[in-house]
């Protein structure tokens, strides 16, 4: 979603802004703009569409040192036009702002604070009017921003330029809708939505917390708390590198990331699964955290929260937490969780799963859990992200940057982190036998080669993709651990191919969805080895009896679907508890293959954003 970059200092500002925005492109956007302080006025340049449209407007410009802000916009209020792109200014041109998030009461604020005509349809523009109006009344810039944060309802991040203070940038946050990180370097001071935009320039960062306002000058930063007190904080020293990710030999990032999954599994297992002693060990990760052995013994229930693909990881993880961790576990869609007044206490373990660590709904659920003093673990792929700062313990995925908007490799890594944490908790609570621990470790260690086998069979999946690519509707069915796999298969397909796809528990099929079945709506059925294999067999029979076409995912050696299904995709025989891993990879390839047949923008599907920072 929206990306923010700002700089004040001795280096040429416009390349810093454009390069920073380029690093934030992965978040998803549909227009972009920059605002540069030139003398005592602010020059705003904006363009709809790709960043290259904006960059081309600077081709013959001389870059100068100074102060500026940049923005990539993911449209919420108003179409993705250049008029609606940020920065927005007040009519006098004194103030310019870039904004990420939503101002819920923008209509009321427009009526109260308008300083002239509005030139966009956005909720954001009114913030520039408000700040300019308060400055005109004699308020200082910081207090004008503070009042603006207080009056504006919603959650957002904001960076502001005031043309009468050419060496100053103000950055502010309200609630959890996209972070802001301030970077310090010898040449100047930076601000951005996340560290990836700034790692080229510095490794020394301050994260702004909700309610905080920072004043950035070329050689200093002052942070004020929500109450207006100056905050002293140790800088965060980033140790990870910005991996320059390219597509390599692959036509799309999605394909590259699918193909990386065997290696991702190896890194997920390394250091946690010991193949010599056949034991699991996360003690170094737990050591020194609030989740001590005593607290682990006292856990009475576990709640798994996440959104989209990460929620599907939670649904798989629930099986592991109950079966291996011995803990009653529920899964919640984080966006629903926060609004249903959940009953929580300090013996509840909340595990959030979030690739970005910045998903607004997941962060809001974590805030809710924090208020109830729950123990919190976050499973996240982004070092330093907001979720890692909220949780008592972070289990980092180490899956490397995921550029394709559709999540693939981080799902596999999240599932393995949940598997590892469940085994570890079961062991610490003495509910897991060493035999089951050893069996799970041995079986998990076979997964990288199982995934390689699925990848090696991708031509078969692409053949099936070609056969069904013209279908406009798909049904995905699974039971038990196959149910979240079916949901994920449907999600992946609709995201990248724009095909209508429904994921259901196969047991639910007869309660409604079967009415949809005909030969124009193929069904993908997850029928791999496990407790529900016979049930899936009869569900597939029922679909065939109604003229439906079926693509079955089956375990190598199982011929029971040969005569029944229209197409069988054979997967390596793994422990049924780990069955989602190869099945998910197969469904990723199927979705990718179909989108490729349809010639779509696979890595940046329409309307989608990688980091979802608005509700």
| Chain positions contacting ligand F6R, by CB under 6 A | 307-310, 354-356, 359, 362, 406-407, 491, 495, 612
* Residue 132 or 585 with smaller CB distance to ligand F6R: 585
Nearest distance, CB of residue 419 and ligand F6R, angstroms: 17
* Residue 487 or 540 with smaller CB distance to ligand F6R: 487
* Residue 362 or 453 with smaller CB distance to ligand F6R: 362
* Residue 131 or 364 with smaller CB distance to ligand F6R: 364
For residues 101 and 112, give the distance between their C-alpha atoms in angstroms, rounded to a whole number.
21
Query: For residue 272, what is the DSSP state?
Result: T
* Residue 148 or 310 with smaller CB distance to ligand F6R: 310
Place of tokens 């034991």: 279
Strands 500-505 and 473-478: parallel
Phi-psi region of 552 (alpha: psi -120 to 50; beta: other; left: phi over 0): beta
Nearest distance, CB of residue 499 and ligand F6R, angstroms: 15
Nearest distance, CB of residue 207 and ligand F6R, angstroms: 17
| Sign, Cα dihedral of 111, 113, 118, 121 | negative
For residues 528 and 535, give the distance between their C-alpha atoms in angstroms, rounded to a whole number.
11
Nearest distance, CB of residue 198 and ligand F6R, angstroms: 20
For residues 305 and 337, give the distance between their C-alpha atoms in angstroms, rounded to a whole number.
8
For residues 575 and 534, give the distance between their C-alpha atoms in angstroms, rounded to a whole number.
17
For residues 185 and 191, give the distance between their C-alpha atoms in angstroms, rounded to a whole number.
11
- Which residue is nearest to ligand F6R, using beta carbons? 308
Query: For residue 598, what is the DSSP state?
Result: T
Nearest distance, CB of residue 295 and ligand F6R, angstroms: 25
Q: What 3-state class would DSSP assign to 447?
A: helix
Nearest distance, CB of residue 494 and ligand F6R, angstroms: 10
Asked if residue 475 lies in contact with residue 504, where contact means CB atoms within 8 angstroms, the answer is yes
For residues 91 and 114, give the distance between their C-alpha atoms in angstroms, rounded to a whole number.
9
Catalytic residue numbers, as ranges: 2, 610
For residues 330 and 318, give the distance between their C-alpha atoms in angstroms, rounded to a whole number.
7
For residues 107 and 118, give the distance between their C-alpha atoms in angstroms, rounded to a whole number.
12
* Residue 163 or 356 with smaller CB distance to ligand F6R: 356
Residue 292: is it exposed, middle or buried by C-beta count within 10 angstroms (0-12/13-18/19+)?
middle
């Amino acid at each position: 979603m929206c990306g923010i970059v700002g700089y004040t200092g001795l280096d040429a500002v416009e390349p810093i802004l454009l390069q920073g925005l380029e690093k934030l492109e992965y978040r998803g956007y549909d227009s972009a703009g920059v605002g540069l302080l030139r003398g005592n006025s602010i020059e705003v340049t904006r363009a709809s569409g790709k960043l290259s449209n904006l960059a081309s407007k600077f081709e013959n410009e001389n870059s100068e040192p100074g102060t500026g802000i940049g923005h990539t916009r993911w449209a919420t209020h108003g179409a993705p036009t250049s008029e609606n792109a940020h920065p927005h200014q007040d009519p006098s041109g004194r103030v310019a702002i870039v904004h990420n998030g939503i101002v819920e009461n923008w209509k009321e604020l427009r009526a109260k604070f308008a300083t002239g005509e509005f030139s966009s349809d956005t909720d954001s523009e009114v913030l520039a009017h408000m700040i300019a109006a308060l400055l005109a009344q004699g308020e200082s810039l910081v207090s004008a921003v503070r009042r603006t944060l207080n009056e504006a309802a919603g959650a957002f991040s904001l960076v502001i330029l005031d043309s009468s203070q050419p060496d100053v940038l103000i950055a502010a946050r309200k609630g959890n809708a996209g972070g802001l990180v301030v970077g310090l370097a010898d040449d100047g001071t930076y601000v951005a939505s996340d560290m990836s935009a700034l790692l080229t320039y510095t490794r020394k960062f301050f994260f702004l917390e909700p309610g905080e306002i920072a004043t950035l000058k070329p050689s200093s930063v002052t942070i004020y708390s929500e109450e207006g007190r100056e905050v002293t904080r140790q800088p965060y020293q980033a140790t990870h590198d910005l991996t320059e990710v390219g597509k390599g030999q692959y036509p799309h990032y999605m394909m590259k990331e699918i193909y990386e999954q065997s290696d991702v599994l190896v890194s997920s297992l390394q250091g946690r699964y010991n193949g010599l002693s056949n034991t699991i060990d996360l003690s170094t990760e737990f050591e020194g955290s609030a989740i001590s052995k005593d607290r682990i013994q006292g856990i009475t229930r576990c709640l798994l929260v996440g959104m989209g693909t990460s929620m599907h990881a939670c649904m798989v993880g629930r099986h592991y937490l109950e079966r291996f961790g011995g803990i009653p576990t529920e899964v919640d869609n984080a966006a629903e969780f926060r609004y249903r007044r959940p009953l929580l206490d300090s013996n509840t373990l909340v595990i959030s799963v979030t690739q970005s660590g910045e998903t607004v709904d997941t962060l809001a659920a974590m805030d809710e859990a924090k208020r109830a003093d729950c123990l919190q673990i976050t499973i996240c792929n982004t070092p330093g992200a907001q979720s890692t700062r909220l949780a008592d313990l972070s289990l980092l995925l180490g899956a490397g940057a995921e550029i394709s908007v559709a999540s693939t490799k981080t799902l596999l890594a999240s599932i393995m982190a949940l598997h590892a944490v469940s085994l570890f908790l079961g062991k610490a609570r003495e509910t897991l036998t060493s035999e089951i621990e050893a069996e799970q470790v041995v079986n998990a260690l076979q997964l990288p080669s199982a995934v390689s086998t699925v990848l090696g069979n991708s031509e078969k999946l692409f053949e099936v993709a070609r056969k069904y690519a013209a279908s406009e509707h798909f049904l995905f069915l699974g039971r038990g651990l196959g149910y979240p796999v079916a949901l994920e298969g449907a999600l992946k397909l609709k995201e990248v191919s724009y095909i209508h796809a429904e994921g259901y528990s196969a047991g639910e099929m007869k309660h409604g969805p079967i009415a949809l079945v005909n030969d124009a709506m193929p069904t993908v059925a997850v029928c791999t080895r496990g407790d529900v294999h016979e049930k899936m067999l009869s569900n597939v029979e029922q679909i065939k009896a109604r003229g439906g076409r079926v693509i079955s995912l089956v375990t190598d050696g199982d011929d029971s679907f040969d005569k029944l299904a229209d197409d069988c995709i054979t997967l390596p025989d793994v422990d049924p508890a780990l069955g989602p891993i190869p099945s998910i990879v197969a469904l990723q390839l199927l979705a990718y293959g179909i989108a490729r047949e349809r010639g779509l923008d696979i890595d940046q599907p329409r309307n989608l954003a990688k980091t979802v920072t608005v509700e």
